[in-house]
Amino acid sequence: MHRRLRLDEELYVSHQGSGASMRTVRDVVFVDGLRTPFGRAGDKGIYAGTRADDLIVKCIRELLRRNPSLPPARIDEVAIAATTQTGDQGLTLGRTAALLAGLPRTVPGFAVDRMCAGAMTAVTAVAGGISFGAYDVVVAGGVEHMGNHPMGSGTDPNPRFMSERLVDPAALNMGNTAENLHDRFPAITKERTDAYAVASQAKYENARRNGRIQPDLVPVAALKPGQGWTLNTADEPPRPGTSLADLAGLRTPFRAHGRVTAGNAAGLNDGATAAVLASAEAAAELGLAVKMRLVSYAYAGVEPEVMGIGPVPATEKALKNAGLTIADIGLFEINEAFAVQVLSFLDHFGIPDDDPRVNRYGGAIAVGHPLASSGVRLMTQLARQFEEDHSVRYGITTMCVGLGMGATVIWENPHHPEYTDNSGARPGGSAATETASEGAA
């Protein structure tokens, strides 16, 4: 039997002068998460005429509407991630988004950047503050408008990277790193990645048809150049009905006769996500539902040339920190930057390509990957699966990160029979969420 780690079992001792003060490390809970529908980047996408900061503001406002027992003045921090922090994604986005969303001026905010794991890092950063006692309630999330800000736009990499051969130039192109993973793991063939991609599209469509996606989407009215106003209520990137034959003939843009295509990789997308996290005690005090408890998290660095392998060491570290093994994990939400990256993770841990624990609602290959926002999408989908499946105790959200990193967060299901909580917080149910979603529509 593994030892269930509870944050409130641990004590930090800080020495101040001749005395010592004891601080209890508190449990961090995931209260609610949502996102905008994801759009395709570019002039034809649904958000071609929409500002990035307006997307994240929409998410923050909807979180408050869905959780009416949370007074805005009780929010202690707003942490918002973006990869390209300029233009409508710049100017200390957490603070500007808080002001634009109508939060009290007393609520501070900051911006985060860890490329694809931006929103995930925003969550873990504020979680540390909650566990330490600096915060009670926070909002964390991310936004990426890749139509306005293509990945890498406006950057100026230090010439030492090349002159001193600190990294291979190919590491600056994510598609090239995916081809490198194919080279390193020849058992991961194009046929396998295409089959995985087809399954991702099918799982997403099945989840959508069964009402698993819509409750956590915020409808967004957007002015599209040349078309006027539209109300966007559904994701734009998915391609239902995708077949192996459809993918077989796609070109390989990163290498002649390569294996990575637009069909077995996530696209270029626009979108935003946000979540409310709190201490278990604050959630109980305010009557906020608890959808997940944070168990552990970890980040890891890997060779930039094969950045897609990053989730492997990050997950190993997070499991070790939690006193768990991979066998204890009942659900996996793995960001599908590339199919080869997901399959390298599954192969390492001996998990079949079609394991029903993995990405039950499909993944980024279907729904899209607006870089810094995707971490909270993974969490929101895992939380909904916890509500549906009380037999699962632990789940993982994990993703690879550009320039050679991995990020993993492990969560516990409050609906599981062995879950214990002394704070009085109630496990989150779908009823409140469905009511809120109906109002949003």
Q: Is 400 a catalytic residue?
A: yes
- CA 418 from chain centre, in angstroms, equals 26
Backbone phi and psi for residue 49, each to the nearest 5 degrees, phi listed first: -110, 20
Coil, strand or helix at 195: helix
CA distance 372 to 391: 31
Q: Write out the H or E segment, with its range, that includes residue 143.
A: strand 137-145
> From the candidates 116, 145, 149, 415, which is the catalytic residue?
116
> From the candidates 59, 145, 182, 400, which is the catalytic residue?
400
The residue written with tokens 């939380």 in the block is 383
Residues sharing a CB contact under 8 Å with residue 142, sequence separation 6 or more, in sequence order: 56, 80, 81, 82, 112, 118, 119, 122, 272, 273, 370, 371, 372, 373, 374, 375, 376
First vs last Cα of the chain: how many Å apart? Answer: 46
∠ CA 435-438-441, nearest 5°, is: 150
∠ CA 352-356-360, nearest 5°, is: 125
- Residue positions counted in the chain: 441
Q: Is 59 a catalytic residue?
A: no
Q: Which residues pair with 297 in a beta bridge?
A: 409
What does the block give as tokens for 58?
């929409």
Return the sign of the alpha-carbon dihedral for residues 78, 83, 85, 87.
negative
> From the candidates 145, 149, 182, 369, which is the catalytic residue?
369
Three-class secondary structure assignment of 82-114: CCCCCHHHCCCHHHHHHHHCCCCCCCCEEEECC
C-alpha R_g of the chain: 21
Backbone phi and psi for residue 286, each to the nearest 5 degrees, phi listed first: -90, -5
Q: Nearest to residue 334, comparing CAs of 296, 287, 369, 304?
A: 369
Pairing of strands 77-81, 137-145: parallel
What are the residue numbers of the active site?
116, 369, 400
